[in-house]
Copies of this chain bind each other. A is one copy, B any other.
Amino acid sequence: MEQVLGAAMGSSRAFENLRTLTDTVGPRLAGSPGDRAAVAWALETLTALGFSRVRAEKVAVPHWERGEESGALVHPTLQPLALTALGSSVPTPEAGLEAEVVEADSLEAVDALGEKARGKIVLLWKLTERARDGAGYGKTVALRVSGASRAAKVGAIGVLVRSVSTADTRLPHTGDMHYEEGAPKIPGAALSTPDADLLHRLLQSGVTPRVRFRLSCRTLPDAESANVIGEIRGREKPDEIVVLGAHLDSWDLGTGAVDDGAGCVTMIEAARIIGAMTRRPRRTLRVVLYANEENGARGAKAYVIAHEKELGLHVAALEADSGAGPAYGFTYSTGPGSGGRLQEIAALLAGIGAGELKDGGNGGTDIAPLRAAGVPLFGVRQDASKYFDVHHSADDTLDKVDRRDLDSGVALAAVLAYALADLPEPLARIAPEAKAP
């Protein structure tokens, strides 16, 4: 394990791989030209690094395009608003929407607006807390995901959500939304936090702002993308598999350096380092770079269907999708009796400050569907204090990634993956009735 740690912390290629992904591919929303270029990049990269059985497994993905968008405060004064469509939103009418703004800070508060929302634009205004474990996101994101349909039910014509972000820059943060069956589909956009706070201040001061915005986003027929896979064959039990997952797609506004380019290059590099060792682990490491995590998780769903027959041979799955901050530990969901083994692994990681264990969770969106087959699930934990400054925004770019922090994730993933793949006996599987916490 010293060898693994040394390679990860000293001569990692993760950052250089991230550079080529972000600089020469860039944004890669499902179905876009960048998505196709990313699949080509991944195939080329895994092949060049000597992975086995490199292949692209086709996935049909949603194809939503942003188009052009703009917004402005028109009363009490005219000033531009920095906003961006939420993923899956319908467009506004060609000429845009214009209306007075009413505010709500929860879905229940949206319901309670009642008639006050009719014909209005609802501002969904809630602060996102900064936290190492990213917990602020979970407390706020429901407004983004469900706010439009809730507001439509009380007669609103559009929603503007304060970006689910800890940043104070004038860049809006997108993210997926869902329409409820039966509710009118109204357009939804995210405002940058300063722009949302401007509207909030005006309302607080007794001035009703009037806002205009225009979105030309559209949903096209499903497009073709792929899960890209490469393997490091196990020395004793090559048919038994440890999945190292991350997602290859990104939102379109930035270059997805942090979300989830960092996870992709972390898993690629962790596996490469193990593959370069004289003594490989007993089982096979399978790097899976999933399609379409951001707006559909079709890659995750396609994987379990395509690999249904071998899920019983999946002994563990590990995901990296919590940014590029310093690694500090991992989550686990397994059958009973794994604690001792995992404590031993955590002890190996304590030296780099990455030994914190947390029982629970699904490891991440892409490996979560493996739970039904009982596969033990692990999630790389990285300090997410700054993650939501850039997440889903134009600011998700390479310069936000610190090379040493990135390598700490590589070290964590490599040690954990090696240990899981080399156990004399696999960990106990999750019982079928066990629910995600």
Give me the interface of A with B, judged by CB distance under 8 Å: 19, 23-27, 33-34, 37, 73, 76-80, 82, 168-171, 193-194, 197-198, 201-202, 205, 207, 254-255, 393-395, 397-400
Contact = CB atoms under 8 A, between A and B. Distances in A.
A19 B77 CA distance: 13
A193 B399 CA distance: 9
B79 A255 contact: yes
Contacts of A255: 79
B34 A170 contact: no
Contacts of A193: 399
A158 to B, nearest CB: 22
Given A23-B202, A194-B399, A394 B170 contact: yes
Nearest to A195: B397
Given A170-B171, A170-B254, A171-B169, A394 B26 contact: no
A394 B395 CA distance: 14
Nearest to A16: B205
A354 B38 CA distance: 54
Q: Which of A23, A27, A254 has the most CB of B within 10 A?
A: A23
Contacts of A169: 169, 171, 395
17 contacts: A19-B201, A19-B205, A23-B77, A23-B205, A26-B73, A33-B78, A34-B77, A34-B79, A37-B77, A82-B394, A169-B171, A170-B171, A170-B397, A194-B399, A198-B397, A198-B398, A201-B398
A358 to B, nearest CB: 31
A27 B40 CA distance: 45
Tally of this chain's copies: 2
A43 B295 CA distance: 51
A339 B19 CA distance: 55
A69 to B, nearest CB: 13
Contacts of A399: 168, 193-194, 197
A207 B24 CA distance: 10
Contacts of A197: 399
Contact of A77 (B24, B171, B205): B24
Nearest to A199: B23
A111 to B, nearest CB: 29
A393 B170 CA distance: 9
A77 B26 contact: yes
A27 B79 contact: yes
A361 to B, nearest CB: 31
Nearest to A41: B77
A198 to B, nearest CB: 6
Contact of A400 (B33, B77, B168): B168
A399 B194 CA distance: 7
A393 B34 CA distance: 29
A202 B24 CA distance: 9
A207 B20 CA distance: 11
B168 A171 contact: no
A194 B397 contact: yes
Given A26-B77, A34-B77, A198-B398, 14 more contacts: A23-B77, A23-B198, A23-B201, A23-B205, A24-B76, A27-B79, A27-B80, A79-B255, A169-B169, A170-B397, A194-B399, A197-B399, A198-B397, A201-B398
A227 to B, nearest CB: 22
Nearest to A19: B201
Q: Which of A19, A170, A393, A400 has the most CB of B within 10 A?
A: A170
